[in-house]
Amino acid sequence: MSGEIQGRADSGGRVYQASGDQYIVEHHHHSDAGSIAWESVASVRQPTGGRAPVVLRDRTELMEHLRPAVAPEASNQIYVLHGMGGCGKTAVARTPFEDATADGNRIGLWVNAADRTSLRSGMLAVAADRGAAEGELIAARNGLRAPADLVWDRLGSSDRPWLLVLDNADDPEILQEGGWLRASPRGTVLVTTRRAAARWWSHAELHHVGVLPQEAAAQVLCDLAPESGTMAEAAEIADRLGRLPLALTLAGGFLSHQVIDPWSMAEYGHHLGDRGGAEFIDQGASALGREDARHLITRTWQLSLDALAGRGLEESTALLRLLACYGSDPLPLTILNSPQINNVVPRTRADAALRGLLDQSLTAMVDPGVRCLQSHAVLLASVMASTPGEQITEFTGTAARLLAAAVPAIPQRGPQDLRLSLLAPHTVALLRNSSETSVVVEVLEVAVRLACALHRTGDYLSAWELASAAVAAAEPRLGRAHRLVLSAHSRIGRALFRLGRFEESEAVLRRVLAEREGLFGPDDPDTLDSCFGINYPLQELGRVAEGVALLQRAADGRKRVLGREHPLTLQAHALLIEFLPVAELALEIDGAVMPLPQECALHLGSDHAVSLGARLSYAYALFRLDRFEGAVEEAGRVFADYDRRHGPDYALTLAAQQVYARARAALGDVNSAVEMLAVVVRRREQSLGAQHPFTAQAREHLEEFRAQAAARLAD
């Protein structure tokens, strides 16, 4: 959990040791709304994870060990702060970070390494800070350039020495498998983690961060709530809380927040003693001795909820249990603005309930470009663990319906949408938290729809990651033969194709086609969708006839099942004319009652995505038939329309520009073709990577036309 705690001592600042694993990842866009979603970290120059401490309690010896990390000549070192969650590792890391940056001679860089998404976003923001070009970042974001290599290349060539803090690195596997943790002669790395095993931290200097001594722990409570009791009373409460900084912070925040009927420390201790048995809320922690106080956090936040209930905000408990169904990443606030929330919290009371949670620091407001809530993972886990079993289905079901309302029913093509990107980790978390089969089905349907939406905005890597995680969470409970599970596998195959992994894509889509046909029949819409989708990798793998046959089957089947005027039928016919043999293509186009683009516009409207796609397919068909004047005219218009609607970097915009350039070259305007294809190559290198097959294809055309232009000059 993170956010402001209303402590009154020393200007209301949070005590140092309490930041611990309470953190906020803030994501800000530093460019237009259409910018890339991964440019969403507010700052890597400032620590996250709570306020800086007013007073440093204890840790003196540890600070002495860390002082060499920020010495002027320090470099090529990795320091690891390890200990249980809530012990103040993040707070400890702040002191060397602030010391390192105080004189301006060293840059401080702070990254939340709690999960793959936050780590990757933060490290790419570090690369951007150290001078990485936009094209390099786009390629890394799409998984087509090793992102860790880019980051460490930029760090290694930094013009100033630096201190990099990798905070909350509680899953060291993601550091190892991504190659994110390295030493550098240009700076020092400081890691905070719960995992202490030396095998994870080779070549690093390890330092344990434990609970506080009694006197220092008591002083923490007095710092936050100086008017609530004596040092002796504070020491007693500190001992009951196991002297864990996170628990002390929550207790001090609770005591300092009481206004109408403030509790003393003695009263707090009495109520604390009245609570039920303790339980470990962090299942990922190693078994510890009786002095471990992690389990007391559950009691502490429950006291805060009891206080809210005493103020007439019983709904705050229900709202927090609803939030616990999701993950600890930023959650768009608009998700709560839906009638579906009435199932667990009256919509008219939701705002008051949320204000209560914010007042008690049980959640926090963050702004990654849209207003969001963020709660700490430890808190959410403890809340979910303590939710009565008979209520879990009600809360997860409501959470599923709130997600469903936030994801477009029919995803549209367009620029990347930050709100959709932010929903992905919560969809996966909800799948994992759901136990009722009916709720798992609801959430999986949202996951498939969201993966499709991400795909259509060009965020292919996120679409693949979401669909893969959804399959891993849902398939063991629903079975491979479930229709939605197969749909999620299909989304994996489609995303793999766009990432240039054609063999893998074909293999996945081939299995899905066989399973759908066996389970649902040859004319089922899902089976026909598989026939349509597998054509893409088959064409790129050189199996043209096989792809055309399956695409023809999709077109004929959709016409039979859905009707000639259905968007999916028209879409299949439009794609078919891109791949038919030239002899058949001429008969298809010349024998049509009206050109396919006109037919699509008649039934769907000229602005429909299928109509626009049909125009691109038609332009390419004219090019294949050597009808270059018509191809230039049609391709030029559709390129302009894609550019206007989706921007110059969108995949279909570049595809239309490439057709337009090739048609212009065929009419003798080679110089214009070279100019346009140079743009296509550059933009594909930035978004897909230099080695992506689509980039290589455009580069081949560019080299061909440059050779033609050179030959003409020689003549």
Of 576 and 82, the one with more pLDDT: 576
Architecture of domain 9-208: 3-Layer(aba) Sandwich (3.40)
| Lowest mean pLDDT segment, chosen from 39-48, 655-664, 672-681, 684-693 | 39-48
Mapped onto helix, strand or coil, the DSSP state of residue 100 is helix
Confidence at residue 287, expressed as pLDDT on a 0 to 100 scale: 28
Query: Above 90 in pLDDT, residue 165?
Result: yes
Percent of the chain with pLDDT over 90: 49
pLDDT tens-digit profile of 325-340? 998 889 999 999 999 9
Cα 682 → chain centroid: 26
Confidence at residue 237, expressed as pLDDT on a 0 to 100 scale: 80
CA distances from 116 to 128, 179, 200, 230 (A): 18, 12, 17, 45
- For residues 127-156, average pLDDT: 90
Confidence at residue 209, expressed as pLDDT on a 0 to 100 scale: 84
Confidence at residue 279, expressed as pLDDT on a 0 to 100 scale: 35
The DSSP letter of residue 70 is G
Those residues whose C-beta lies under 8 Å from the C-beta of residue 631, and which sit 6 or more positions away, are: 619, 620, 622, 623, 659, 663, 666
Confidence at residue 23, expressed as pLDDT on a 0 to 100 scale: 39
| Lowest mean pLDDT segment, chosen from 292-301, 485-494, 539-548 | 292-301
Kindly list the domain boundaries of the chain, sorted by start residue: 9-208, 214-311, 317-465, 627-714
Per-residue pLDDT band at 84 (split at 50, 70, 90): low
Helix (H) or strand (E) holding 164: strand 162-167
pLDDT tens-digit profile of 418-428? 899 999 999 99
Of 220 and 85, the one with more pLDDT: 220
Beta strands 364-366; 372-374: pairing state = antiparallel
Confidence at residue 298, expressed as pLDDT on a 0 to 100 scale: 54
**Contact indicator for 1, 22 with CB cutoff of 8 Å:** yes
Those residues whose C-beta lies under 8 Å from the C-beta of residue 276, and which sit 6 or more positions away, are: none
Confidence (pTM): 0.66
Per-residue pLDDT band at 377 (split at 50, 70, 90): low
Which CATH number does 627-714 carry?
1.25.40.10
pLDDT tens-digit profile of 426-467? 999 999 999 899 999 999 999 999 999 999 988 899 999 999
Query: Above 70 in pLDDT, residue 414?
Result: yes
Helix 693-714 × helix 651-666 angle, to 10°: 20
**Contact indicator for 35, 649 with CB cutoff of 8 Å:** no
Of these ranges, 101-105, 263-267, 364-368, 450-454, the one predicted with the greatest mean pLDDT is: 450-454
Phi/psi-derived region of residue 182, left when phi > 0, alpha when psi is between -120 and 50, beta in every other case: beta
pLDDT tens-digit profile of 258-292? 666 677 888 777 766 543 333 322 222 222 233 33
